[in-house]
Amino acid sequence: MTINRQWLLVSRPQGEASVDNFRLIERPLPELQDAQVLVRHHYLSLDPYMRGRMNDAKSYAAPQPLNEVMVGGTAGEVVASRSAAFAPGDKVVGMGGWQEYSVVADAQRGVLRKVDTSRIPLAAHLGVVGMPGVTAWYGLTQIIVPKQGETVVVSAASGAVGGVVGQLAKARGCRVVGIAGGPEKCSYVERELGFDACVDYKAHRDLKALAAALKAACPAGIDGVFENVGGVNLDAVMLRTNAFARIAVCGMISGYDGTPIPMANPSLILINRLKVQGFIVSEHMELWPQALKELGAMVAAGQLKYRESVAHGIAAAPEAFLGVLKGRNFGKQLVKLV
């Protein structure tokens, strides 16, 4: 327990990200100072937002600095402590980044949080009962605000966020239609997550075909949209929106490589009096306890289903992350370190 392996971001992508943008290094662990804890990471979280942070561009958060540990959520165990707030053996989640260990000062409020793993597995605190789950809860309950009987469409429906959105909407009495890539993912969305229907975008490549598939799946139109993808996906959904539909914009993964993603019919925002609102879940920390309470209760009761894709070992992180950007993962993507 003297060496820490870390992935650094060493260059910015020109177009698609690649493994060459990262470098794996080894560093000795520092001596703990007063009020510090040493955390051994059991899991790293890999999420689409990380691609945006790799760019040196104006955004809602500062770019990931070069030659520093790649940003990311972590779940693990306190293995040494000089803090009254944490003891060895405590299970914790935080933002430790792509590395095997992190040293955290307990004065950094909110950076490290104890979690109860007696009813909810540690890894789930990075997914369904973590940032992705709270993202789903916030976009649905605070922006879409669904009413019983309405139709809600969710893109990237088999993912860590989309799968939770649909199940929460079903619990509120909505008709829920997903959009996902491939028959296996669509079958999972319908049969395991309980969506009413799922449209395979890989079988409907152009705007006309995707819009027709959505028309068949949403005969009463669309009242709420949880958008993770953008591009043709959003254009097709907007063609089917009802008056006063609400669109929660969580992600635009179709444009993460810097490709422009113009809208085909922006006039529909006016014609259908749409509410289109982007959001960043970390800006709404005051609502996290409420969200985590509902999500945790549903997971503990077996009412909220989820799936995880797990890569093994710190060396696997970059390839697993690039897989997320290509839709190769199934559910929440994690790297297991212990």
Query: In the chain, what percentage of residues exceed pLDDT 90?
Result: 91
pLDDT surpassing 80 at residue 74: yes
pLDDT tens per residue across span 273-284? 999 999 999 999
Token pair, residue 300, equals 């503990």
pLDDT tens per residue across span 31-41? 999 999 999 99
pLDDT surpassing 70 at residue 159: yes
Alpha carbons 319 and 337: distance in angstroms, whole number: 15
- Any residues with CB less than 8 A from the CB of 165 and at least 6 apart, and which? 136, 139, 140, 152, 154, 157, 226
Mean pLDDT of all residues in 123-133? 96
77 φ/ψ angles, rounded to the nearest 5 degrees = -135, 140
The pLDDT value recorded for residue 23 is 98
pLDDT tens per residue across span 83-103? 999 999 999 999 999 999 999
pLDDT surpassing 80 at residue 108: no
Alpha carbons 58 and 49: distance in angstroms, whole number: 14
Helix and strand numbers, DSSP H then E, in the chain: 9, 16
pLDDT band at residue 107 under the 50/70/90 scheme: confident
Alpha carbons 245 and 152: distance in angstroms, whole number: 9
- Any residues with CB less than 8 A from the CB of 173 and at least 6 apart, and which? 148, 149
pLDDT tens per residue across span 168-208? 999 999 999 999 999 999 999 999 999 999 999 999 999 99
67: buried, middle or exposed (CB in 10 Å: 19+, 13-18, 0-12)? Answer: exposed
Token pair, residue 130, equals 């973590």
Q: Looking at the chain, which runs of residues are DSSP E strands?
A: 3-9, 22-28, 36-46, 68-69, 74-81, 91-94, 101-105, 112-114, 151-155, 175-180, 197-200, 222-227, 241-249, 275-278, 308-312, 332-336
Alpha carbons 150 and 137: distance in angstroms, whole number: 17
pLDDT band at residue 106 under the 50/70/90 scheme: confident
The pLDDT value recorded for residue 115 is 95
pLDDT tens per residue across span 233-246? 999 999 999 999 99
The pLDDT value recorded for residue 166 is 98
The pLDDT value recorded for residue 263 is 94
The pLDDT value recorded for residue 89 is 97
Between residues 228 and 109, the one the model is more confident about: 228
The pLDDT value recorded for residue 109 is 67
Name which of 125, 124, 194, 186 is nearest 165 in CA terms.
194
The pLDDT value recorded for residue 61 is 81
Q: To the nearest whole number, what is the mean pLDDT of the chain?
A: 95
The pLDDT value recorded for residue 82 is 95
Alpha carbons 336 and 317: distance in angstroms, whole number: 9
Alpha carbons 295 and 310: distance in angstroms, whole number: 22
Q: Which residue ranges form the domains of the chain, and what is each CATH number? A: 3-127+307-336 (3.90.180.10), 131-282 (3.40.50.720)
Mean pLDDT of all residues in 104-133? 91
